[in-house]
Chain A
Amino acid sequence: GDSVTQMEGPVTLSEEAFLTINCTYTATGYPSLFWYVQYPGEGLQLLLKATKADDKGSNKGFEATYRKETTSFHLEKGSVQVSDSAVYFCALRDPFGNEKLTFGTGTRLTIIP
């Protein structure tokens, strides 16, 4: 079945550092790919998405590119801020399924000033 593998956490970085959180997936066909973010005390929020190969999703300075050849959707940000501290989830949606999201285990990111 479908699955998502995320980089193990937690990740701690200094402010203004470069961020990469790795995500790879296993799915039949061509799933849509998502990054969700969960800030402390809040629900999951969609951060960005990509629906086909080579698409780049971007939002709030974060980017991720749908790489079909490596089945990856790594999250990057050039300069992180303290306010980016949160848990990040990679997820996929099977286009031939029932629209359910399959999530990775999440990566906790802490940014220190």
Chain B
Amino acid sequence: EAGVAQSPRYKIIEKRQSVAFWCNPISGHATLYWYQQILGQGPKLLIQFQNNGVVDDSQLPKDRFSAERLKGVDSTLKIQPAKLEDSAVYLCASSLGGGRNTEAFFGQGTRLTVV
């Protein structure tokens, strides 16, 4: 079974530039998450989708971050414009959804460096 795919693996951009990350969840997984992991900290949820609807985006800095999940499958996370403090690993995860015991599977992440 293929895992959660993310691209790119690494990205270096200058502040005020734009960047986009892509995630392909495990086939059949209804729930998709984007987490931000700043160096030395645990992952923090940015946004959660159930199919193509947003369940939780309370921690998403909406003035610069946006995310979509078209057709309830792939998802993209965009930052525009980027700030130095956005340097982090962006993790995508997916789960079957629908119950407390559904395991979340994580991709390898995209490491973003803003200079």
Contact = CB atoms under 8 A, between A and B. Distances in A.
Interface of A: 4, 6, 32, 36, 41-46, 49, 51, 89, 91, 93, 95, 98-106
Interface stretch (B13-21, B63-71, B78-86, B100-108): B100-108
Interface of B: 3-4, 31, 33, 40-45, 48, 50, 55-56, 91, 93, 95, 97, 99-109
Contacts of B109: 43
Contacts of A42: 108
Nearest to A101: B104
Given A42-B108, A43-B109, A45-B106, A103 B101 contact: no
Chain A at the B interface: SS class: strand
A50 to B, nearest CB: 11
9 contacts: A4-B42, A43-B91, A43-B107, A43-B109, A44-B91, A46-B103, A100-B56, A101-B33, A105-B40
A110 to B, nearest CB: 15
Contact of B42 (A32, A45, A49, A106): A106
B106 to A, nearest CB: 4
A43 B33 contact: no
Contact of A43 (B41, B102, B108): B108
A46 B68 CA distance: 26
Given A43-B108, A99-B97, A100-B56, A89 B42 contact: yes
Contact of B106 (A32, A44, A95): A44
Contacts of B105: 46
A42 B40 CA distance: 16
Nearest to B109: A43
